[in-house]
């Protein structure tokens, strides 16, 4: 429970501020927004935990100390302002004034740029999935008919297969949309992903990830997850401060879940949880691409992500029971 103390503190402070901004209605909306954020980002917590496990304790602490304000104020407040500012040709101060005085116009401007953000986020997330799916060193397989078949084994031998497939996906999307801005967004995400991993590989020592690169990787990953929630939040409120508080509370709990998973070594205990998170990320990436053409409810997105996590958790429990039973049988035979 101690890993969640800071989240409960921030929740209390945030809800008090929300009450002064809009009474019990604002408090209720913040609670709903926090649930939305957690449901959309639980798989993010699992992947964050995997990355943090490869970082030293100093950078794990920095992820909490510096990562929280970046997640709350940066990704849920300043990032949308920056997007609208660039799209509307306004300064950040003018954009903030627009968001306060005319939230409908602010939302419209944000909506006008959402497609390229979805393209960027989807491209980055699909690279995260490919890194996991085509990892030659991964020994544990969950869905063996997908992860351990002849074709997958062959593709794992192809250098940079994830990048190759992602490039073809990008070409296909650009061909469908005939939009150069989408092309820039897609391949910029691929380039950033490659750059971060390349620099990390250069400076990693004995399997411990370079702290700064790991931190940047987690923040870009968080940005890819967060924008979907920011857009969906306007269905509940047009007040950017209420949105920031609600999503910020959710982001805090996602951070707490991440630290809990790291400290309790939950990923090692529940062996398929990481698989479920990455399949959820892959599903989210596909949904982001789909959102360029169609409207997809955040309820569907959150349900799919949570569904993969839940199923992989149940599968992990059954796998642990199977392994324990097998171990007991071996010990029984040895005893005999």
103 found inside a domain: yes
pLDDT, tens digit (0-9, with 9 covering 90-100), for 70-111: 877 777 788 788 878 876 777 888 888 888 888 888 888 888
142 found inside a domain: no
The pLDDT confidence band at residue 12, using thresholds 50, 70 and 90, is very high
pLDDT at 293 over 70: yes
Q: Which two tokens stand for residue 284?
A: 């989210």
267 found inside a domain: yes
Tell me how many domains the chain contains: 1
Share of the chain above pLDDT 90, in %: 18
How many angstroms separate the Cα of 334 from the Cα of each of 177, 224, 322, 323, 325? 65, 52, 19, 17, 14
pLDDT, tens digit (0-9, with 9 covering 90-100), for 133-162: 998 888 888 988 999 899 999 999 998 999
What local confidence, expressed as pLDDT, does residue 210 receive? 61
pLDDT at 171 over 90: yes
pTM (global) more than 0.85: no
pLDDT, tens digit (0-9, with 9 covering 90-100), for 183-196: 998 999 999 888 88
What local confidence, expressed as pLDDT, does residue 303 receive? 83
Which residue has tokens 């639980």? 42
pLDDT at 54 over 80: no
Lowest pLDDT segment from 119-133, 193-207, 233-247, 261-275: 193-207
What local confidence, expressed as pLDDT, does residue 329 receive? 66
33 found inside a domain: yes
Range of the domain at 49: 2-114+210-335
Give the 3-state DSSP-derived string for the chain, with helices as H, strands as E and coil as C: CHHHHHHHHHHHHHHHHHHHHHHHHHHHHHHHHHHHHHHHHHHHHHHHHHHHCCCCHHHHHHHHHCHHHHHHHHHHHHHHHHHHHHHHCCCHHHHHHHHHHCHHHHHHHHHHCHHHHHHHHHHHHHHHHHHHHCCCCCCCCCCHHHHCCHHHHHHHCCCCHHHHHHHHHHHHHHHHHCCHHHHHHHHHHHHHHHHHHHHHHHHCECCECCHHHHHHHHHHHHHHHHHHHHHHHCCCCCCHHHHHHHHHHHHHHHHHHHHHHHHCCHHHHCCCHHHHHHHHHHHHHHHHHHCCCCCCCHHHHHHHHHHHHHHHHHHHHHHHHHHHHHHHHHHHHHHC
Share of the chain above pLDDT 70, in %: 93
What local confidence, expressed as pLDDT, does residue 133 receive? 93
262 found inside a domain: yes
138 found inside a domain: no
* Dihedral, CA of residue 61, residue 62, residue 65 and residue 68, to nearest 10: -110
What local confidence, expressed as pLDDT, does residue 209 receive? 59
pLDDT, tens digit (0-9, with 9 covering 90-100), for 202-253: 666 555 556 677 777 788 887 777 777 777 777 778 788 888 898 889 888 8
What local confidence, expressed as pLDDT, does residue 19 receive? 93
Q: Is the sign of the CA dihedral 181, 37, 252, 104 positive or negative?
A: positive
pLDDT, tens digit (0-9, with 9 covering 90-100), for 107-119: 888 888 888 888 9
193 found inside a domain: no
149 found inside a domain: no
């Amino acid at each position: 429970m101690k890993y969640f103390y800071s989240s409960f503190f921030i929740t209390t402070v945030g809800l008090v501020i929300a009450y002064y901004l809009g009474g019990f209605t604002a408090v209720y909306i913040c609670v709903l927004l926090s649930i939305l954020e957690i449901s959309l980002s639980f798989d993010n917590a699992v992947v964050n935990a995997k990355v943090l496990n490869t970082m030293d304790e100093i950078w794990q602490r920095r992820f909490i100390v510096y990562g929280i304000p970046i997640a709350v104020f940066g990704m849920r407040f300043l990032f949308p302002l920056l997007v609208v500012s660039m799209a509307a040709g306004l300064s950040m101060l003018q954009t903030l004034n627009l968001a306060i005085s005319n939230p409908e116009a602010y939302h419209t401007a944000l909506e006008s740029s959402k497609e390229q953000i979805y393209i960027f986020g989807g491209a980055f997330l699909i690279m995260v999935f490919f890194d996991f799916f085509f990892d030659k060193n991964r020994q544990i397989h969950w869905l063996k008919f997908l992860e351990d078949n002849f074709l997958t084994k062959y593709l794992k031998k192809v250098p940079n297969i994830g990048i190759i497939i992602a490039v073809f996906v990008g070409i296909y999307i650009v061909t469908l949309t005939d939009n150069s801005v989408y092309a820039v967004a897609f391949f910029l995400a691929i380039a950033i992903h490659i750059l971060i991993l390349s620099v990390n590989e250069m400076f990693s020592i004995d399997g411990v990830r370079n702290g700064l690169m790991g931190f940047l990787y987690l923040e870009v990953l968080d940005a890819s997850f967060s924008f979907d929630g920011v857009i969906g939040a306007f269905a509940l409120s047009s007040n950017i401060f209420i949105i920031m508080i609600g999503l910020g509370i959710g982001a805090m709990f996602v951070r707490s879940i991440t630290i809990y998973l790291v400290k309790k070594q939950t990923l090692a205990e529940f062996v398929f949880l990481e698989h479920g998170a990455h399949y959820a990320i892959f599903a989210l990436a596909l949904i982001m691409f789909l959102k360029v053409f169609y409207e997809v409810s955040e309820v569907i997105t959150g349900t799919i992500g949570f569904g993969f996590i839940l199923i992989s958790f149940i599968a992990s429990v059954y796998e642990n029971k199977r392994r324990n039973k097998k171990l007991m049988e071996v010990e029984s035979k040895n005893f005999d």
